[in-house]
Structure 1
Amino acid sequence: MERSTVELASRASLRLRLAHGLLRVTLRPAIDGLCVLGEWAPQRAFALANRAELLAVPLRPARGTRRRPVRFPGFRAEWLWHRDDPGPDDIERGAILYFHGGAFIAGGLHSHRRLAARIGRSARLPLLNVAYRQLPEGHITDTVADTLTAYRSLLDRGFRAEHIVFAGDSAGGGLAFAAALAARAAALPLPGAIAAIAPFADFDPAGKRAHPNDRRDAMLSARALAVPVQRGFARDGVLDPAWSPVNHDFTGLPPVLIQVGNTEVLLADSEALARRCAEAGVAHTLQIWDRAIHVFHAGADVLPDARAAIAEVGAFLRAVLPAHRQQLAETAPRVRA
């Protein structure tokens, strides 16, 4: 793998372009409108966003997916794996530690079960989907602490750090980096890779407000992303720069894959993360997908672009994780001398 790679995905499919245009005139105005409630009554808005997770209860992962609930002090998680792949008891193969998105106020096991299971299936790895504490109950410091609790649980079970992947989307994509930085600060061994989908990794909204995608994004605006951090995380109106992964030195981090759309407001955060990787000499790939809506991977049932992106995540993880490389070597045809 080259140390630094930027890949521009091919032109968006017709379905993705239609979805982008439709959401731009429907969902984007609705989310911007909800910002008013978040700014004037943040605790009420955060509590309502938490309850939206109940709407996702009917969602089910693909047939053949196995589930196992896990309870931690203060939060829940669940293992997801396909019946044809190694499960979480096969610690030699490794695992994905997944952090869902939702701007730290929404999302959870139900909303992300189908997407997370697809990613695990693509990588042929069991995946631990973590429902970390969110606003209004949990501050970002609590959230990051939960990621470390989940990571320590894998290490305590016997998983080797280099066989573990930190992955996530949106807020969870930023958390994948925050968790790795927290593990380094705690003198824990670092994971084998990081895979982030449209990561929210800079809590200072200035960069996103100045970015042209603040007007082009089909779903999110800099204002929408600023509400949870400024009304929920800020202390006396002040955000600690250390809470944002983009403000850290990435020296020693494992190989990184970042996927983001070329019209997303979070392209600003993705580019900042890629710069930090480059400055620290961390091998990384930034994939920029044409007209991709935020976390378009969740539409894999109908979007060919989403299926291709998930396949890219799986290919990346199979290429960088030692257990997969060893399996490929063992199954490769031998040439007689």
Structure 2
Amino acid sequence: MIEHIPARPGLSPRRWLARRMARKAGRTSLSPNQPAEVQRARMDKAGDALPTASGVEVSRIEYAGRPALRFVPEGARDGVLLFLHGGGYSRGSAQSHKPFVSNLSRALRLEAVSLDYRLAPEHPCPAAIDDALAAYRTLRSDTQGPILMAGDSAGGGLALATTLRLKADGDRLPDALYLLSPWVDLTMSGESARTKDGIDPMLKTSYLHKGAELYLHGADGQSPDASPLFADLSGLPPTYIQVGSDEILLDDSVRLAEKLAEAGVAVKCEIWEKLWHDFQLFAPLLPEAYKAIKRVPDWAAPYLSSQAD
């Protein structure tokens, strides 16, 4: 269920540079000391700092009443990837995550829709869930193939919370979930929120406390909408989790994997040694990021096989 992926041996200049970029990104785009409009603009600009994957057509669309990006890789198979971006529920966009989603779309050979859901504090919980639900239900009506739902950080928590809402409503669930460093406990009760603070180059615990405050807007931090870790997870689709060993949200992933397994859900959790929050977003600069992305199609193959070539 939990697999440790060892670090590449020796000193890696690319890893050093990527870690430095992660530290700068956290300081300039995630710190609550910066105005929201400045952070959002910087994160959007970061979407052009790394190249998009070759052979993937990217277009701006409106989907279920929200702005979005559509990714269509060469040789796309039947099915769709719905991606929900991270950013603490108050930052980030489809644009900021464009390079990563293009790489994931190409690796899976799946068309992808990356949604710009509404952000806090202007639109606190559950606005993001409502937008994700609308997008997912539209995808279900538009496609006959399988749907893979994915998200990083807050987007990972959002993907899980959205799936729980679908379950409660009796809707058909995604065929599988892919969660990158998911933020599933807005109460920050995991031990790594303390022990990894200062080790994770991108995140600080104080950043997440502020993000939770903005998103919750006085709501219960242990509710399934906010912190799906505390929900009944039985009946959920197969789930693949990737997380870095050096990150604040390590325990969110580990505890989630354990709870999913206890609930009888097929789950695979990888802990990538010496890597940090959202390290996959640093492809192609970081070799480990590409390696992590390339592992997703092998895991997802059985759940996409109904429409396989």
Higher CA-based Rg = 1
Could you tell me how far apart the structure 2 residues matched to 1:318 and 1:193 are? 10
Structure 2 SS opposite 1:98: strand
Structure 1 SS opposite 2:294: helix
> How many Å apart are 1:15 and its aligned residue?
3.8
Q: Provide the residue aligned with 2:117 in structure 1.
A: 132
Name the CA shift for 1:195/1:134 in 2 (closer, same or farther; >3 Å).
same
Name the CA shift for 1:73/1:98 in 2 (closer, same or farther; >3 Å).
closer
Could you tell me how far apart the structure 2 residues matched to 1:155 and 1:297 are? 27
Q: Provide the residue aligned with 2:228 in structure 1.
A: 245
Report whether the alignment pairs 1:216 with 2:199: yes
Larger proportion of helix: 1
Letter in 2 for 1:84: G
| Alignment partner of 2:74 out of 83, 88, 91 | 83
After superposition, residues 1-40 of structure 1 pair within 5 angstroms as 5-12=1-8, 14-15=12-13, 17-19=15-17, 22=20, 34-35=31-32, 37=33
Q: Provide the residue aligned with 1:332 in structure 2.
A: none
For structure 1, which segment, 148-157 or 47-56, has the greater mean C-alpha deviation from structure 2 after superposition? 47-56
- Give unpaired runs (5+ residues) of structure 1: 39-44, 87-92, 328-337
After superposition, residues 63-212 of structure 1 pair within 5 angstroms as 63-72=54-63, 75-86=66-77, 93-160=78-145, 163-207=146-190, 211-212=194-195
Residues 53 and 106, structure 2, Cα contact 8 Å, conserved in 1: no
Could you tell me how far apart the structure 1 residues matched to 2:104 and 2:44 are? 22
Could you tell me how far apart the structure 1 residues matched to 2:214 and 2:135 are? 27
Could you tell me how far apart the structure 2 residues matched to 1:322 and 1:276 are? 27
Counting matched residue pairs gives 305
What RMSD in Å do the two structures reach over aligned CA positions?
Answer: 2.4
After superposition, residues 318-337 of structure 1 pair within 5 angstroms as 318-323=301-306, 326-327=308-309
Structure 1 SS opposite 2:233: coil
Could you tell me how far apart the structure 2 residues matched to 1:210 and 1:185 are? 30
Could you tell me how far apart the structure 2 residues matched to 1:31 and 1:208 are? 25
Report whether the alignment pairs 1:282 with 2:272: no
- Give unpaired runs (5+ residues) of structure 2: none
Q: Provide the residue aligned with 2:280 in structure 1.
A: 297
> How many Å apart are 1:317 and its aligned residue?
1.3
Letter in 1 for 2:4: L
Could you tell me how far apart the structure 1 residues matched to 2:68 and 2:298 are? 25
> How many Å apart are 1:54 and its aligned residue?
4.0
Structure 1 SS opposite 2:120: coil
> How many Å apart are 1:188 and its aligned residue?
0.7
Residues 208 and 222, structure 1, Cα contact 8 Å, conserved in 2: no
Residues 170 and 200, structure 1, Cα contact 8 Å, conserved in 2: yes
Name the CA shift for 1:275/1:56 in 2 (closer, same or farther; >3 Å).
same
